[in-house]
Structure 1
Amino acid sequence: MVTLCESQRHDHHDVYAAQCPCREVLDLLANKWSALAIGAMEEGPQRFGALQKRLEGVSPKVLTATLRRLEERGFVERTVYPAVPLHVEYELTALGHSVAQPLAQLRDWVEDHMDEIA
Structure 2
Amino acid sequence: MFPKVYRTIRTPAVISIVGDRVSGHGKAPQTDPRPYITWQIVTGDPYSNLSSAPGGDFTTVQIDCYHKDEAGAQALALAVRAALDAELIVNRVAIDTIDSDTQLYRVGLEADFIDQR
TM-score by shorter chain over 0.5? no
User: RCO (CA 8 Å, sep 6+): is it higher in 1 or 2?
Assistant: 2
TM-score (norm 2): 0.28
More helix by share: 1
Structure with max Cα Rg: 1
